[in-house]
């Protein structure tokens, strides 16, 4: 039986706040995220873009950073085995990579041969008070986790921050203060693309969901929904869990899979039409292969969604219309791993790439974190 009781820690994590992705071609990433999907550019510097959604009043919720020059062009789709290196990127008439060089789900990982590969530099949560950072440092140090302090301004637009390699292997940052940016929610004249409003959540591939669940409970996260094996009861095994600090379905999802890896970043869009508009825009740009799964409606969370792959294979979800979880007596919802409605309420199966491919993560010194195999090996096609 899964223990769903809430634990109250001595620190206050507010929400999932931003992520930093390493990309092989910053201009190709700009075209995808800014020109097509409509992210707002708050700032840029040589080798990096700082992006946000229309609703966000903070400096950034997504950082795109170019890989070191020695890395050269690379694509990432972590699957079961390597494929030959992609040919050099040749832009087409619209400025996008040529058909031969576009990422396609299922292509597997690029061979490294000593080169840097696209990866996740860190995921970040905001805290309510500066003192929470010190309490979090003590929490992670007591668990033997590496910690790194960042001074205000080390990450542009951000105050003092704590970066840790958490017990699950993920590079996680905590911060309290960030420069304010103009809120563009009612600047409808500036809306473009998918009408991205804000970062909503992280979804993580972890080899041991039960251990990851216990870790996030200790951080004060509550569970909104979860998936477990049948039959219900003492012998059930936890397959996935959706956990939150802000009062909607999740700030982080923990999903059974080889890890630690980032499965996707979830961005909230204004309505279901925004999801469909994004599909039209991406397809019209000749990038229909980037639409990996959906559009559709999740049974779990009730949200309307589509999953896209960026030019390096990083996965993002455009997501909207889940529900409120802030009542103190909210009860987590259990789904059977064999229920065909949970992943897609309409019953459609997900492609193999959706289960097998995720972005690798780096440690605090920028080295790839080794991936461990998932503890649960069976994979019903209905798992989300």
* CA–CA distance, 364 with 369 (Å, rounded to integer): 10
pLDDT of amino acid 108:
39
What is the pLDDT confidence band of residue 383, given thresholds at 50, 70 and 90?
very low
Q: Which CATH class is domain 13-175?
A: alpha beta
* CA–CA distance, 162 with 147 (Å, rounded to integer): 7
Count the neighbouring beta carbons within 10 Å of the beta carbon of residue 68. 12
Is 0.85 topped by the overall pTM?
yes
Q: Which fold has domain 197-360?
A: 2,3-Dihydroxybiphenyl 1,2-Dioxygenase; domain 1 (3.10.180)
**pLDDT over 70, % of the chain:** 84
pLDDT of amino acid 99:
38
Domains 13-175 and 197-360 share a fold: yes
List the domain boundaries for the chain. 13-175, 197-360
Per-residue pLDDT at 303 exceeds 60: yes
pLDDT of amino acid 341:
65
Count the neighbouring beta carbons within 10 Å of the beta carbon of residue 331. 9
Per-residue CA distances from 210 to 16, 250, 255, 284 (Å): 21, 17, 10, 42
What is the pLDDT confidence band of residue 92, given thresholds at 50, 70 and 90?
very low
* CA–CA distance, 133 with 131 (Å, rounded to integer): 5
Helix (H, G, I), strand (E, B) or coil at 251: coil
What is the pLDDT confidence band of residue 96, given thresholds at 50, 70 and 90?
very low
Per-residue pLDDT at 13 exceeds 50: yes
Higher pLDDT, 74 or 350: 350
pLDDT tens digits for range 311-364:
999 999 999 998 999 999 999 999 888 876 666 767 778 889 988 999 999 999
The mean pLDDT value of the chain amounts to 87
- Mean pLDDT over 264-288 rounds to 97
- Mean pLDDT over 10-17 rounds to 98
């Amino acid at each position: 039986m899964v223990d769903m009781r809430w634990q109250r820690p001595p620190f206050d994590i507010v929400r999932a706040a931003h992520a930093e992705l390493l990309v092989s071609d910053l201009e190709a990433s700009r075209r995808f995220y800014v020109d097509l999907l409509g992210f707002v550019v708050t700032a840029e510097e040589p080798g990096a873009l700082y992006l946000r959604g229309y609703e966000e009043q903070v400096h950034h919720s997504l950082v795109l950073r170019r890989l070191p020059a020695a890395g050269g062009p690379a694509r990432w789709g972590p699957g079961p085995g390597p494929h030959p290196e992609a040919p050099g990127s040749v832009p087409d008439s619209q400025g996008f990579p040529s058909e031969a060089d576009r990422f396609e789900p299922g292509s597997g990982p690029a061979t490294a041969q000593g080169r840097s590969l696209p990866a996740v530099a860190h995921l970040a949560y905001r805290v309510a008070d500066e003192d929470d950072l010190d309490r979090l440092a003590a929490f992670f140090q007591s668990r033997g986790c590496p910690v790194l302090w960042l001074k205000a301004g080390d990450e542009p637009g951000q105050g003092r921050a704590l970066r840790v390699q958490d017990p699950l292997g993920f590079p996680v940052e905590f911060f309290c203060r960030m420069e304010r940016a103009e809120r563009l929610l009612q600047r409808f004249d500036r809306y473009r693309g998918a009408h991205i409003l804000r970062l909503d959540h992280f979804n993580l591939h972890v080899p041991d969901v039960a251990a990851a669940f216990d870790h996030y409970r200790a951080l004060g996260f509550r569970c909104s929904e979860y998936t477990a094996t049948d039959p219900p009861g003492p012998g059930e095994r936890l397959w996935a869990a959706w956990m939150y600090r802000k009062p909607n379905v999740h700030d982080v999802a923990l999903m059974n899979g080889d890890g630690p890896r980032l499965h996707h970043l979830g961005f909230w869009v204004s309505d279901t039409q925004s999801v469909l508009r994004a599909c039209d825009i991406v397809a019209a740009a000749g990038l229909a292969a980037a639409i990996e799964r959906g559009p559709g409606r999740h049974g779990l969370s009730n949200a309307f969604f589509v999953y896209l792959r960026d030019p390096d294979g990083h996965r993002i979800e455009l997501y909207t219309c889940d529900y409120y979880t802030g009542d103190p007596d909210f009860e987590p919802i259990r789904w059977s791993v064999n229920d065909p409605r949970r992943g897609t309420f309409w019953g459609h199966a997900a492609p193999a790439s959706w289960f097998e491919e995720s972005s690798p993560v780096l440690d605090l010194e920028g080295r790839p974190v080794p991936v461990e195999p998932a503890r649960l090996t069976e994979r019903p096609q209905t798992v989300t």
